[in-house]
Structure 1
Amino acid sequence: MKLEAGSLALQAKLSAILAKKAKRAGEFALPFERDHFPLNVRHAFAGFDRFALEIGCGWGEFTRALAVQAPETMHIAVEKKLARVITSGKDQKRAGIANIRYLVLDVAWFFAGVFDTSQFDSITINFPDPWPKARHHKHRFISSDFVGELVRIAAERGRITFATDNYAYSREAMQAFEGEPRLKNIHGAYLAVSDIAGRPRSFFETLHRNEGALIYFLEYEKL
């Protein structure tokens, strides 16, 4: 997730790749230029009252539903797959939704330092790949360092929500969140819930529920 100081060449190469993707991603995509970071969304979109970050927006159906529910909120949607961002932007334009911007970004490559401190009133991590095989667990990006970065960019009393259908991953993520002293589990220590009232359902949530899977939501508030 976080590149070491000795990896400046790799950092520059990855930045160049992501900058090219951003230019191809459509009118609603944020540029990826390292000189522009850390990004202060509160200054960049000063006309909005609240700011939300979604990590892993997929095809954007959840993001669009949230944006319609909360037009006073600017929604920043992070997605690593360029094709999904392009499609999401086109669907957003057809729907006439103005309060979504996309960042083409693999958080396993880049995340630390991308956003300024105390930016987001809500942060959602939606059904990340659980990499269920033991030999692939190293690819999971939820860690104590990652959670620390989420806390840094969350606003005071900001809420962080993690959603998965994988029980083992929910427990692993919970260990990372519960170990962060600046976070409080709003349902009680080490507790998850199976649904959140009023929350739109993403494609992946609907798919998992239709398959009979249990859904685990972890919700934390920044103290």
Structure 2
Amino acid sequence: MQILTLTAVAIQTYGWVSRRDADASDGKLVPTAAIVDTVINGDGYDATGLRQELEAAVTDETRAYSAAVREYAIALPDADVSDYAYQLRLAATEDTVGPRHFATLVSAVSSYQRHLQDQTIRHTTATSTWQGQKGDKVSFDARVLAARSCNRHRRGGGQSAATTLYLADASGNLWTWRAPNLNAFRDGTYVHVNGKIKGHDTTDGHRQTELGRCVLTPIDQPEDWPGGTQGHQQPADRSRPTPR
């Protein structure tokens, strides 16, 4: 449970970084598994400082979330015959984990987060329709549903890390934007979007409108946002950079 708890805090603090994304970043990113390993097994001043930082951020909510992650991993359906699902179930079931399964157990937090994000996207954008035409300028408020990292090949060889941001407008329409460095936008927060429509696609059968050339400005939850109460909304982090 300690590994899952520290992983949850590390992701909350620094964002999720897989080994694949770290390799594609040319040394700019550190894998989450390496951070957690340093906290648990590291020596020296840097490891001690990192350990104190993450342990101080652990709350009862973090512990409850970590317990839910473990239950999710143990209960992965037997119908999922992938080697990853098997190894994840095995790692989560044991009370202790060895070096072979350490990184797999760390990834359970990201896997559970993606599971929750999938549920949110399906529920929030069940009636999504395509918006506008390619090239149209748009400006609207949106809720952040998910930020997912991926690797893409560069011309001339090599890879670069990018993030796909999933957004929902007040009418439940699904919007996406892919660009570097979007992990700072947290699930459940709100932004004002200024951008252009790049095209149209589908996600799990839901129609999505793809954006390009965007500027996102963090905002508080709009007062007239459907189905929500401002009392439970985290204040917008207005010091956050707004990438294009």
Q: TM-score range by the shorter chain?
A: under 0.3
TM-score by length of 2: 0.24
Whichever structure has more strand as a proportion of its residues is 2
TM-score by length of 1: 0.25
